[in-house]
Structures are given as structure tokens and as C-alpha cells.
Amino acid sequence: MKVFKVAGLILAGLLLAPTQAFAANSVLSSVFDGSEPRIDPLPGSCGGDRQLGYQDTGTFQVAATGEYLVADAFNLNGLDVTALIYSGAFDPDNPSNNLITPGGIDTIDFIDLSAGVSYRLVVQQWCSNLAEGAWAVTFSGPGNVTSDSTRVVPDFTEGLFTGSDPTASTDCGNSQYHQSGPTQVAVSGRYYYTDILIEADVDACVQVYTAPFDPANPEANRVDANNGIGILDDFDTVDLEAETDYYFVVQPFGTSVAGEYFFVLAPPAPFRINKALAGAWFDLDTAGQGMLLDVFDSANIMFLAWFTYDLERPASGVTAMIGDPGHRWMTAQGPYEGSVADMPIYWNGGMIFDSASPPTTGPDQDGSLRIEFHSCNRATVSYDLGSANTVGEISVQTAVDDHVELCESIIEVPDMPGPL
């Protein structure tokens, strides 16, 4: 084992000597949506007795026989997984059967693969369940990888440096450079960079510009990365805007060197419901009523209680022993996906304060509710109150913003790599 420093972090990694040229690079990726089955930690994982979510991604084949470098692309900047490769079926009850990566692949490793053989890739969340998020595993070797999970990535994320390339002196060093563009991203937000061949071939360094690169003025029009040094190196992020032309300049870090580079650039993940959204929500236009909600990540379930009033005020003279006679409350509970929860509405009745008698009636299902989150403190609630023949939509916000920092830290993760 070799310990090397990457992006300010100390990692335990393999000493990867370039044993061959990587003629093809493939990215396999998908998303954990929180509904995955969970089993004990698979071989090569962090161990422990906590069951972790996993995906059997199906079969894959390689186009050419040889040695492949396999890497967890989001090991440090996204959903960390253990990758396991099988030469036959995967049996969750006997996870070592047919396994050809007995130590698992948590960061990066070499493996021999043969053309014409159907392999199977299984990924499991590392150490803890993040419930939702994208994973990405890359293969670099003599041939492309064919799988239902294979993603098409931009051409400029891989290339070959030779002695005939032009050179420039920049914050990346005094070395060759490749320029591509103009390129536009589809979604504004934080983009996630991972250098895959950092230890296996060329240590790439990337700079992003809003105009063609000028070697004589390499800092002009540059979009600085979010690391304080401007360049994308190893594992970094950069904020990009939709409908803006960008030019990507890739160099070997430090001095000129011949060889291949390959990096992953992943867009920001779409907003996803998470446990930090739990709390009080209300509509500014209807002060005095509102909602309390809770999110159960482990079950992918949301619960919501809506404290409101009847459709009309009670008749004059109607009183209540506690509170307002017009008070109404309803509950909704159901699964969520992405930023949306669709839930049936339930009504309880028949009880009196702090008493088990008479027994409750219901809960009776009558109506439906959809809540769609636009950010960590804004959402839209659409409702249909069933037999009351009342439908509508309201905008709600958090009563306080104490949870926003946690919520944003949970959702600030990459989506699947693919077309920008």
C-alpha cells in the first residue's frame, strides 16, 4: 500500500504503475433512490454489522481482453461505494461465490477481464446508508465496457498527450495543453471533477474559461475552482452556469509528459427530499395554520400533519371546551421520490382530549396531497380533499431556517456523469 496526498486529504491507495496504455475509458453509473434492499457488508467493505443498501447492476462485457483499471469515481466527492465484480451470478446469501475481486474495490484497483465473458457488477454503499444519490464506477483498459449502466460522457474528458502538443505556462505548470469548446452545461450549479488516471498515467490538471484560452494570459476569463487555487486538480468542484459558453483546457500537472488522461465531470444532483426537511412549514398568507412534517430516510417515507380550519366558520354561538371550534387537522403519509411526495390524506375522529375512551374512528382515507420541494426552505403543496370537493395549491416555507445548512450539505452531491 502507498499513502499519497490528494486534494488536501490523506488517502490509502494502491501504488499504480502504468503497465499499459488505456485505449478506452467507460463510466458505469446509476442512482440509489432509497428503496434498495439491504444486506450485511459485502466482501471488501468497511465491515461492521450494519446492513447497507446495494444494487445488482446486471451484466457487462468488455470489448477486449486485458488489464483494466477500475475506480470508484465518487469516492471523495459523492456517494462512496464498494464495487464487486462477479464472473457469474450474484447470490446475496453467498456473496463470495463467483467473486473475482475478493477485496472489493473501494477506491481503485487493477483487474484482468476477458472479452466474451458476461460479468456482473454489484455496488454497495460504504459504511453508512446515504439513502439517495448517484454512484459512478469507471473502467480504463483496452476496450469499452457495454452495460445497461454505461454512460456517454463528453469527448474532452479523455485524451492523449504527445510531444507535438502546444505548451503553456499556467497555474497547472509548464506543459502541453489541449483545448475544447465552446461547451454549454444544461443545469446551473456545482460540477464535480475527479481525475481517474492520477496515479496510473497522466496526472491531469483542468482549467475552465468563458472565452478561448490565451496562453499569453492564462488567467484571463478563467472560472476559478472552489479550492482557492483556481485549477481543477485531483478531486475538486467548479460552479458553472447554463447557457454560457465554456472552454476546457487540460494539461499534465507540473511538467510535460506523454500519456493518457481521463477525468469525470459530473453535474449537480437534482433536489432530493432528505431528513433535514423535517420541521414546521407554513403559508405566509395564512398565518395561524401550518404543517409539521417528518422524513424517514431509512424507509423512504414522509409523514405530514396539517393543522388548519374548516371550510366555513362554525355557526354563531358554537363553542369548544378547548381551542377554536373551527380547528381541523389531517395527516398524510406515503413514499417520496426525488423532490416529490404523493400521499393519501387521512382523517381521525371520535376521540376526546387525553383519553382512550371513546376509541378513535379511522383513520379514514379521503383525499390526496402532493408536496414538491423547490429548495431547502420552499415547497408547493397541491391538495384534493376528496368528498369535500375542494382542490387547490399553496406555497409554503419553513418557519425557521435552522435546518437549511444541513439540508444543503446533504443534497450538494454529484448526479450521474453524462452529457453536460
Residue 111 has which C-alpha cell?
A: 483487474
- Which residue is it, cell 382512550? 356
* pLDDT for res 312: 81
Residue 229 has which C-alpha cell?
A: 487555487
Q: What share of the chain is helix, strand, coil (3-state, %, to 5)?
A: 5, 50, 45
pLDDT tens-place values along the chain, 420 residues long: 222 333 333 343 444 444 456 789 999 999 988 788 999 999 988 888 889 999 999 999 999 999 999 999 998 888 899 999 999 999 999 999 999 999 899 999 999 999 999 999 999 999 888 767 899 999 999 999 999 999 999 999 999 999 999 999 999 999 999 999 899 999 999 999 999 998 889 999 999 999 999 999 999 999 999 988 899 999 999 999 999 999 999 999 999 999 999 999 999 998 889 899 999 999 989 888 899 999 998 788 999 999 988 788 888 878 877 777 767 888 999 999 889 999 999 987 777 788 777 766 667 899 999 999 999 999 999 999 999 999 999 999 999 988 899 988 888 889 999 988
CA angle 375, 30, 299 (to 5 degrees): 60
Sequence-distant (6+) residues with CB within 8 A of 238 are 190, 191, 193, 208, 223, 224, 225, 226, 232
Q: What is the C-alpha to C-alpha distance for residues 36 and 54, in angstroms, rounded to an integer?
A: 6
* pLDDT for res 7: 36
Alpha-carbon distance values, 115 to 60, 112, 143, 144 (Å): 10, 10, 9, 10
Residues 119, 60: contact at Cβ < 8 Å? yes
Amino acid at 416: M
* pLDDT for res 360: 64
**pTM for this model (two decimals):** 0.81
* pLDDT for res 254: 94
Diameter over CA atoms, the chain: 92
Total count of residues recorded for the chain = 420
Please classify residue 216 by burial: count the beta carbons closer than 10 Å to its beta carbon, then call 0-12 exposed, 13-18 middle and 19+ buried. exposed
How many Cα atoms occupy the beta-carbon half-sphere of 3 within 13 Å?
A: 3
Element at 407 (helix H, strand E): helix 404-411
Q: What is the C-alpha to C-alpha distance for residues 80 and 398, in angstroms, rounded to an integer?
A: 31
